[in-house]
Structure 1
Amino acid sequence: MSEGRPGLLEGAVAPSENTHLFGHEQAERFLAQSYRSGKGHHAILIEGPEGIGKATLAFRFANHVLSNPDPSAAPDMLASPDPSSMVSRQIASGASHNLLHLARPVDEKSGRLKSAITVDEVRRAGKFFSQTSGTGNWRIVVIDPADDLNRNAANAILKILEEPPKRAMFLVLSHAPGKLLPTIRSRCLPLKLAPLDTDALAKAMRSLGLDISGEGGEAVLAAAKGSVSEALKLVNYGGADIIAAYDEVMAQEGPAARKAMHKLADALSAKDSDTIFGFFVSYLGDSLVERARAAAVSGDLRGADRLARISSEIGERLTIAQAYNLDRKQTILTILGELKQ
Structure 2
Amino acid sequence: MAIETPPDQIIGLPHPREVFEFYGNEAVETELAQALNAGTLHHGLIFTGPKGIGKATLAYRLARRYLGAKASDEGPLASDETDEICSKIANDAMPDLRVATRFCPDDQKVKRDVNIFAIRELTKMFALSASNPMGHRVAIVDCADDLNMNSANALLKTLEEPPKGALIILIANSLGAVLPTLRSRSRVFHLRPMPSAKLRELVGGSDDAAITLAKGAYGRALALKTSKIGEYYSALSAHLNSMPYAPLAPMMALANKATTIENCELIFDLIDDWLYRTAQSGLGLEIDEIEPGESATLARISVNLNPKIIGDLAIEIGKLRVAIGNNLDKSAAVIEALRLIKTRLTASSKND
TM-score by length of 1: 0.84
Output the CA distance in 2 between the equivalents of 1:256 and 1:303. Answer: 19
In structure 1, stretches of 5+ residues that fail to align are: 206-211
> Counterparts of 1:179 and 1:114 in 2: how far apart (Å)?
18
Per-residue Cα deviation, 1:254-290 (whole angstroms, up to 9, x for no partner): 997123222211111x2xx222211221222232233
Map 1:275-290 onto structure 2 (within 5 A).
275-290=262-277
Q: Is this contact kept in 1: 2:135–2:164, CA < 8 A? A: no
> Are the equivalent residues in 2 in contact too, given 1:224–1:234 (CA < 8 A)?
yes
Pairs within 5 Å for 1:61-72: 61-67=62-68
Which shifted more, 323-332 or 27-36? 323-332
Q: Is the 1:118–1:149 contact (alpha carbons within 8 Å) kept by the matching residues of 2?
A: yes
Correspondence list, 1:177-192, <5 A = 177-192=175-190
Q: What CA distance in whole angstroms lies between the structure 2 residues aligned with 1:18 and 1:323?
A: 30
Residue in 1 that maps onto 2:279: 292
Aligned length, in residue pairs: 322
Question: In the alignment, does 2:226 pair up with 1:236?
Answer: yes
2:308 aligns with: 305
- Check 1:199–1:253 CA distance in 2 against 1; reply closer, same or farther (3 A cut): closer
Letter in 2 for 1:237: S
* Counterpart position of 1:264: 254
- The CA distance in 2 between the partners of 1:183 and 1:68, in whole Å, is 32
After TM superposition, what 4+ stretches of structure 1 lie above 4 angstroms from structure 2?
106-109, 133-136, 252-256, 296-302
Give the distance between the partners of 2:162 and 2:154, measured in 1 at CA: 12
Counterpart of 1:125 (choices 99, 122, 127) is 122
Tell me the amino acid that sits aligned with residue 285 of structure 1.
D
1:52-131 equivalences under 5 Å are 52-67=53-68, 78-106=76-104, 112-131=109-128
Structure 2 match to 1:35: 36
User: How far 1:204 sits from its partner (Å)?
Assistant: 5.0
The separation in 2 between residues aligned to 1:240 and 1:98, in whole angstroms, is 42
Distance 1:317 1:61 in 2: 38
Q: Deviations over 1:182-210 (max 9, x none)?
A: 111111111001113345535654xxxxx
> Is this contact kept in 2: 1:45–1:185, CA < 8 A?
yes
2:244·2:342 contact (CA, 8 Å) conserved in 1?
A: no
Q: Please name the residue that 1:158 is paired with.
A: 156
Question: Structure 1 pair 83/337, CA: closer, same or farther in 2 (3 Å)?
Answer: same
Q: Distance in 2 between matches of 1:304 and 1:97?
A: 51
**Could you say what secondary structure the match of 2:67 adopts?**
helix
Cα offsets for 1:117-159 (capped at 9, x unmatched): 1111100122100012797511111111111222221121112
Q: What displacement does 1:58 show?
A: 0.8
Report what 1:249 is aligned to: 239
Alpha-carbon distance in structure 1 between the residues aligned to 2:210 and 2:284: 27
Q: Give the conservation status (yes or no) of the 8 Å contact 1:138–1:168.
A: yes
Q: 1: CA distance between counterparts of 2:163 and 2:148?
A: 23
**Identity %, equivalent residues:** 28
Q: Of 324, 342, 347, which residue of structure 2 is paired with 1:340?
A: 342
| Letter of the structure 2 residue corresponding to residue 231 of structure 1 | A
Cα RMSD, aligned residues only: 3.1
Pair 35,184 (structure 1): closer, same or farther in 2 beyond 3 Å: same
Offset of residue 30 of structure 1: 0.1
Question: How big is the shift at 1:301?
Answer: 11
**TM-score normalized with structure 2 length:** 0.81
Check conservation: 1:42, 1:168, Cα contact below 8 A: yes
Are 1:322 and 2:319 counterparts? Answer: no
Gaps of 5+ in 2: 286-301, 344-352
